[in-house]
Amino acid sequence: MKFLLLLAQHDTDFRAKELIAIAEMEKIELNLENYKEDSPFVEVDLPSEDEARRLVQRSFLTRGIYRILAQGSSMDEVHESNKKNLAVYDEFMNKSFKVEFNCYQGTRSKESQLTEINNLGYTNLNGRISLKNPEVRFVFLEDYDQYNPTPKYIWLATLVSSTARSVIDIYDLKKRKHVGTTSFEAELALVTTNMAQIRKGDIVYDPFSGTGSFPIAAAYHGAYVFASDIDRRPLRNYGLNFAQYNTSKNFLDSLEMDFTHDAFQSRLKFDAIICDPPYGIRERLVVCGAAKPERFIGKEHILVDNELSHRRRDYIATKKPVELSTILQNLLDFAATRLNVGRRLAFWLPVEDRDVETTKIPLHTDLEFKYVSVQKFSKWERWLLTYEKRPHGDKGPEIPISLTDDFREKYYTRYRGQK
């Protein structure tokens, strides 16, 4: 069966990969050879409407999937092709329906729309017209070149399924109770959960959770989440957000913890690890320990009110700066041993002056690199890297982390200097 995918026309580098990730988890064979970066339309072949539905139901960057009835480079061609295929209308014959237009980079006047709708008379549809709640939605999808009044291509199709796009608005940071400077935009946090193939009942971990943007997104799918951060402050109101989205049961715990000295037992395996590691710009990039150890010699014996100071409830652990590459290497090593086989790590990285085509993506022998997607800003980029835990004994190549050491420095000399 031929279907038409209608995609969002932004963050384009994430759209195909999101669909591929979903197709893999739903075991749907998906061929995206017709996919174009600069178009929201993709024709795909799928066995049935069931696969079509499962492909888009949890997609955040797809607007809808349509079953193609007729198509062509002009309205005449569409009607011509439609007339050759009238048998398909049998199943819609007595259903209530509605006809809509969806024009990309163009518009069609109300009068012209009505003409085309009336032109469909030959289909002999008997059902009642229902504008509010039709059983079948027929849609003319029209692809225009900008500033050209006539479309270059038209499909006539029925809507098979809407997508999870409406969820983005519900999770919008502007409406969220507990946010901070590090909160991650809802749309791409949700997309991250698809790259990581997070599903109901999974146990998911965000080791740099801050205000919880990723755990909250994972809970949307019904996953159960652990979160930790070296900074206690953002963790304090964590529960509020889960309560707001009715996912309180999915929030297991948030821990004040240095990821490089984590307390999780290695027998606890995660179904996904998703995060936005610290870059040292909006937040501190630190681990437990003393920057000047000589100053701390003997301090473990200090008594306050007859109590060793580091055992007191109000003790504040000293922290020292660390390289981002050390944190990232820790993250890959951790994922390699703590993920269940076949499950995923997805994390974000800020990058500057790098070409994704020529950059050596870091590799861990026990993790298969799946994809990198690039979000572009005017002066820098943010990459989302996705890996999958290999089966035991299956070893791949190793490439140490090298692509980020200088990001923080560059950022500071360049942008701070300008201010």
Partner 1 sequence: MKLLTTNFVQCAVKSCSSSSNCFPLHFTECELVHEDLEFDEDFIKNVMVKIDWPALLSVTRDIGNNSLPEEKPNIESCDEQVLRDLHLVLLETQIKDGKMICKNCDHLYHIKNTIPNFLLPPHLA
Please list the residues that pair with 215 across neighbouring strands: none
Residues 6 or more apart in contact with residue 415 via CB below 8 angstroms: 379
Question: Which of these segments, 14-22, 27-35, 131-139, 202-210, binds ligand SAM (CB under 6 A)?
Answer: 202-210
First to last CA, the chain: 57
Query: For residue 373, which amino acid is it?
Result: S
How many residues interact with partner 1 (rule CB under 8 A)? 38
Binding to partner 1 (CB under 8 A) within 83-112 occurs at none
Q: How far is CA 122 from CA 83, 88, 396, in A?
A: 8, 13, 60
Binding to partner 1 (CB under 8 A) within 328-347 occurs at none
Contact call for residue 233 and partner 1 (CB under 8 A): no
Kindly tell me which of 22 and 285 has the beta carbon lying closer to ligand SAM.
285
Question: Which of these segments, 11-19, 210-218, 313-321, 375-383, binds partner 1 (CB under 8 A)?
Answer: 313-321
Kindly tell me which of 129 and 243 has the beta carbon lying closer to partner 1.
243
Beta strands in 328-404 (DSSP E): 339-351, 367-376, 381-389
Question: Which of these segments, 26-34, 164-172, 176-184, 291-299, binds ligand SAM (CB under 6 A)?
Answer: 176-184
Binding site partner of 236, from ligand SAM, partner 1, none, Cβ cut-off 5-8 A by kind: partner 1
Kindly tell me which of 52 and 179 has the beta carbon lying closer to ligand SAM.
179
How many residues interact with ligand SAM (rule CB under 6 A)? 26
Q: How far is CA 385 from CA 6, 123, 258, 284, 367, in A?
A: 25, 49, 22, 22, 12
Asked whether the CA dihedral 26, 28, 32, 33 is positive or negative, the reply is positive
- Report the C-alpha gap between 134 and 184 in whole angstroms: 37
Beta strands in 105-182 (DSSP E): 136-143, 153-162
Contact call for residue 257 and partner 1 (CB under 8 A): yes
- Residue 334 Cβ vs ligand SAM, minimum distance, rounded to whole Å: 11
Binding to ligand SAM (CB under 6 A) within 210-229 occurs at 210-214, 229
- Report the C-alpha gap between 376 and 354 in whole angstroms: 12
What tokens appear for 218 in the block? 């994972």
- Report the C-alpha gap between 244 and 237 in whole angstroms: 12
C-beta of residue 332 within 8 angstroms of C-beta of residue 401: yes
List 27, 267, 392, 419, residue binding partner 1 (CB under 8 A):
267
Q: How far is CA 169 from CA 180, 195, 231, 238, 326, in A?
A: 18, 20, 28, 20, 36
Contact call for residue 262 and partner 1 (CB under 8 A): yes
- Residue 336 Cβ vs partner 1, minimum distance, rounded to whole Å: 17
- Report the C-alpha gap between 112 and 109 in whole angstroms: 5
Contact call for residue 299 and partner 1 (CB under 8 A): yes
Question: Which of these segments, 18-26, 161-169, 173-181, 261-269, binds partner 1 (CB under 8 A)?
Answer: 261-269
Question: Which of these segments, 43-51, 144-152, 305-313, 389-397, binds partner 1 (CB under 8 A)?
Answer: 305-313
- Report the C-alpha gap between 302 and 83 in whole angstroms: 89
Binding site partner of 208, from partner 1, ligand SAM, none, Cβ cut-off 5-8 A by kind: ligand SAM
For strands 41-45 and 2-7, give the pairing. Answer: antiparallel
- Residue 330 Cβ vs partner 1, minimum distance, rounded to whole Å: 12
Q: Which residues bind partner 1 (CB under 8 A)?
A: 201, 203, 224, 226, 230, 232, 235-236, 248-249, 252-258, 261-265, 267-268, 287-290, 293, 296, 299-300, 310-311, 313, 315, 317-318
Chain contacts with ligand SAM (rule: CB under 6 A): 180, 182-184, 207-214, 229-231, 234, 258-260, 276, 278, 283-287
